[in-house]
Amino acid sequence: MKRITLAFLFHCLCMFIGIFCYVNLTHAIPQLIPGQEFSYRLFSSLRIFLELLPAIILSSYVVAYAIVFGKDDKHIMVKYSPYILSRFKHVAIFSIIGTSIVICGQEVGTPLITHKLTRMLEAPSLYQEYMQAARKYDSQGDLVFAIQYARAAELIDPNSQEAITLKGDLEVRIEGSDYDAPLHDILLSQENLQSSSMERNATSYELLKKARQAYQDESWLNAHYYSILAQRVAEPGSANEEDAKVMAADAWNMLAEPGRFENDEAEERYRQKKLAYSQLIAGNVVEAYYKFSDLLQRYPTDEDVRRYHTAATMEMESQYFFLDEIPISDGMEDSRNVAFRLQQQDGSESVVFIKGLSSVGNTGGLMQYARGLSVYDFGKDGQFRKSLYVPYAKILSQSIASLDEQSQRKLAFSQLNPEKDAVPMIMLESLDRIHPNSLNKPTYTFAEGVSQTTNSILFLPMDYKDFLMLKNTSLNPEEMMLTDIIRMAFKAQDYGYAQIIYGQAACNRMSTPLLFIVLFLLAASVGWNYRIMSGSFRVAWSLTPILLTMGCFVLLIAIEYMQKLLNYGLFGFFQLAAVPIVFFAAILLVFLAALFFLARRSQ
């Protein structure tokens, strides 16, 4: 058996070398990052090798069984003989091993290598794109953005002198600057956000207590702020609400009174803080945020400024997102060309198209950034009503229970569980973290007679899990994971996709392992039928596995095609019931193939 295993590995090696030579001789090398030519050839060869792997294993099994059975069999055998029964155990184990290798190659190896090759092919364009972006932001004075893109470009091509020089130059300029980098770091600090989020969870009593303490300390801003917060969370008509109102009014009066200051600068700082704070309380979040950002830059140690900058940031983040949140790396976006339609309760429908989606690491996909988001709304009659387009958007998972009743009614979550499920919340408006006057809004188009309502936040009437499924959906189901295909087979119709395509793909992929077990059992039967009678294997027969591999490859293509046709036929008649039918038919075939092997006998 050891010799046969070695021979099998040698066969694989010979096939790989043959494929590698073929790729070198016939495949033209596309434009790549310098130095990746060999890797490209290697991975291209590996991809072809994995395509041929089922045929290679199948042919190797036939030859190996022909040798093994030829050596063992010197007696007349009848059907279901003890010898065949004892051999069946080994055949079954090797069938399962062979199937596992084939499925691993198809489900893991091929997607990984294809992904690697795609990245290699797209790397030169991506490098150019990042370098252009780095230069653009550099010319605009956004050194922090510029260096992010320069670093990403260097990650793609670590040997590029152009990227290394640009990154080095930007690093020197950022180190020498006392403006952008420290401010950016302060703004991104998570410490303040955490303390602020703790305040959000406080009760009205706790907030009122803080307000009173601040009032006693003559910290009028804090006293007013905490009393406003207490007012918001207190039950309407409660004593705490009344107390908070009184405290807020008192604190505001104290704020309005001209105070005594050590110097002019202190007075100016107080005036600016009060102005920014007024904007925050009035709900002018954007203005408040930039004013506090400006103050934070000038007085980074001022406790009031830090606190209210954090509060303004929290308010901002509930309505807008910052452009620098969008992840930039050497990799590509997680998905491209994500499209789906949503049927509304009144029969109208929306068509959503996203050019690219990137998820933020360690969030389990709960936070995504969309590039090039388009939403088209159509009426019941199929006529266009309105559309929006936004270059970047942020998508979050929002639990339905956390939405107000009006939003819940508006979205009409007929198939969703309002207590457990979440929906995608799309933030359409974005800002630059540092520079004011940079609000990016969606572009709207309206049909005649349609009311021109716009939104800064959009809730999609769909389960967030379905959104993640659609993110992984491809128009070619062969590129998808089996779990996604199965889910898609049940939901395709709801989102504008053809159920029959994903249904037949689900049937195909689920029955493929069983089909390979059948083929390996049949390979054992062929090995028995054509076992070597005249002694041992001869060197002159070495070409047999290669010839068999080619034959098996053609046979497998034909079987796969027939499988698809059959699945289309069954799905056309039985719809989703075809999935279990195909599965049980495949199990029946395994049983018949096992019986066929057990019925082997001498001539």
Partner 1 sequence: MGLFLAVIIFGAFFGFCATLLFIHATDIVVGADGVRLDMNQILFLLFLWIGASAVVSSVFTVVYSIRYPKNGVARVITHTTLCLLAWLVIIPLSLGFADKAGEIKPMQPKDRPMTANHFRPDDGKLYYYTSVNAATKTANGVSFTLDSLDNASDESRLLENAPLIKSDIVPFSDVLIYNTLSRSKLVKIALPALHLNQQAALTALKGGVISWLTFASWGLALCTLIGVRRLFHWRLLNFIAVQIGFIAICAVNLYYSWGWNGNLFGAVTIPSWMMNCIIAAVLSCTGILLSIFRPDPNMEHVE
**Residues in the site for partner 1, rule: CB under 8 A?**
62-63, 66, 73-76, 122, 125-126, 129, 336-337, 339, 341, 349, 351, 353, 355-356, 372, 374, 376, 378, 381-384, 387, 389, 475-478, 496-498, 500-501, 504-505, 526, 529-530, 532-534, 538, 541, 544, 547-548, 551, 554, 557-558, 560-562, 564-566, 568-569, 572, 602-603
d(CA 223, CA 215): 5
In the complex, what is the shortest distance from the CB of residue 596 to partner 1, in angstroms, rounded to a whole number?
A: 14
In the complex, what is the shortest distance from the CB of residue 501 to partner 1, in angstroms, rounded to a whole number?
A: 6
Of residues 203 and 337, the one with the C-beta less far from partner 1: 337
Of residues 327 and 436, the one with the C-beta less far from partner 1: 327
Of residues 114 and 544, the one with the C-beta less far from partner 1: 544
Of residues 300 and 572, the one with the C-beta less far from partner 1: 572
Of residues 18 and 356, the one with the C-beta less far from partner 1: 356
Residue among 144, 148, 152, 164 at smallest CA distance from 128: 152
Of residues 294 and 494, the one with the C-beta less far from partner 1: 494
**Alpha-carbon distance values, 20 to 23, 35, 45, 392 (Å):** 5, 18, 5, 43
In the complex, what is the shortest distance from the CB of residue 378 to partner 1, in angstroms, rounded to a whole number?
A: 5
Of residues 92 and 351, the one with the C-beta less far from partner 1: 351
Of residues 137 and 378, the one with the C-beta less far from partner 1: 378
> What is the Cα gyration radius of the chain?
34
In the complex, what is the shortest distance from the CB of residue 375 to partner 1, in angstroms, rounded to a whole number?
A: 10
In the complex, what is the shortest distance from the CB of residue 8 to partner 1, in angstroms, rounded to a whole number?
A: 16
DSSP helix/strand/coil, 102:
helix
Of residues 44 and 293, the one with the C-beta less far from partner 1: 44
What length does the chain have? 603
Chain centre distance of CA 551:
39
In the complex, what is the shortest distance from the CB of residue 363 to partner 1, in angstroms, rounded to a whole number?
A: 23
SS3 content of the chain, % helix, strand, coil (to 5): 65, 10, 25
d(CA 580, CA 248): 67
By CB neighbour count within 10 A (0-12 exposed, 13-18 middle, 19+ buried), where does 76 fall?
exposed
By CB neighbour count within 10 A (0-12 exposed, 13-18 middle, 19+ buried), where does 452 fall?
exposed
Of residues 57 and 228, the one with the C-beta less far from partner 1: 57
Contact 225, 308 (CB under 8 A): yes
Of residues 365 and 551, the one with the C-beta less far from partner 1: 551
What residue type is 446 in one-letter code?
F
**Alpha-carbon distance values, 494 to 362, 446, 478, 489 (Å):** 29, 25, 21, 10
| Helices then strands, each counted (H, E), the chain | 20, 9
In the complex, what is the shortest distance from the CB of residue 126 to partner 1, in angstroms, rounded to a whole number?
A: 7
In the complex, what is the shortest distance from the CB of residue 80 to partner 1, in angstroms, rounded to a whole number?
A: 18
Of residues 252 and 376, the one with the C-beta less far from partner 1: 376
In the numeric block, the tokens 């706790």 are attached to: 206
d(CA 60, CA 49): 15
How many other CB atoms sit within 10 Å of the CB of residue 374?
17
In the complex, what is the shortest distance from the CB of residue 93 to partner 1, in angstroms, rounded to a whole number?
A: 23
Of residues 181 and 500, the one with the C-beta less far from partner 1: 500
HSE-CB of 151 using CA atoms within 13 angstroms: 11
**Alpha-carbon distance values, 511 to 50, 280, 474 (Å):** 19, 61, 21
In the complex, what is the shortest distance from the CB of residue 574 to partner 1, in angstroms, rounded to a whole number?
A: 13
Of residues 438 and 544, the one with the C-beta less far from partner 1: 544
For residue 436, give every residue at least 6 positions away whose Cβ sits within 8 Å of its Cβ, in sequence order, or none. 286, 290
In the complex, what is the shortest distance from the CB of residue 450 to partner 1, in angstroms, rounded to a whole number?
A: 13
In the complex, what is the shortest distance from the CB of residue 456 to partner 1, in angstroms, rounded to a whole number?
A: 21
Tokens at 76, concatenated? 């007349």
Contact 288, 318 (CB under 8 A): no
Name the phi and psi angles at 279, rounded to 5.
Answer: -60, -40
Tokens at 581, concatenated? 């039918």
In the complex, what is the shortest distance from the CB of residue 540 to partner 1, in angstroms, rounded to a whole number?
A: 9
Strands 430-431 and 321-322: parallel
What residue type is 449 in one-letter code?
G
Residue among 232, 235, 207 at smallest CA distance from 222: 207
In the complex, what is the shortest distance from the CB of residue 77 to partner 1, in angstroms, rounded to a whole number?
A: 9
d(CA 597, CA 345): 57
How many other CB atoms sit within 10 Å of the CB of residue 204?
21
Quick one: which H or E segment has residue 196? helix 191-200
In the numeric block, the tokens 């929306």 are attached to: 350
